[in-house]
Structure 1
Amino acid sequence: MAGGTHAMPTRHPWLGQAFGSHLLYGPGKSRFDDHGLALYERAGFAPADADRAAATVLVFVLGSALGAAAPDSTFDFGLRAVLDGFAATLAHRRDVP
């Protein structure tokens, strides 16, 4: 999901300006958000944390797609670091009574 979102601004360069200047919302965005939240909740996040995790990844994805990190492996490295951090957070919560 993150990879597909990262590729979007490459295919549609106008999206960078649209994200920065317009509220992008509608049925498609609602489905996208619901799907993302469901993924994080299935991974073990509580609903509020699922929302925060989804927002964190979206901001990282869009920022790296629109910035200098887009042409190299920085995106893959950064995304893996973010997701590994989420996995460690969930593992820690499972271990703490």
Structure 2
Amino acid sequence: MKEGDYTAKANIFKVLSDKQRRDILVMLKDERLNAGEIAEKLGISPAALSYHLKLLKEADLVMEYKEKNFIYYEINTTVFQELVMWISQFKGE
């Protein structure tokens, strides 16, 4: 594994260390949501949500899609699949 791969995974774990970001991912597990819906469900300000979404996007854990006047967010399952495969190498036989 290249050094860049370790850096990317370390960043993912750092992003996942925050409870509110994990809560956002759980919310997005079943459906796309826009920022207003996420902020309302979490009970946080738009500015705080913007910060969390920025970090989640930088770690490639969420993707955004524009529809009409809204931006919707959803989980990037590819990154989670790669992470699960990487972690599975440590399980015993």
Higher strand content, 1 or 2: 2
Structure 2 length-normalised TM: 0.29
Higher helix content, 1 or 2: 1
Structure 1 length-normalised TM: 0.29
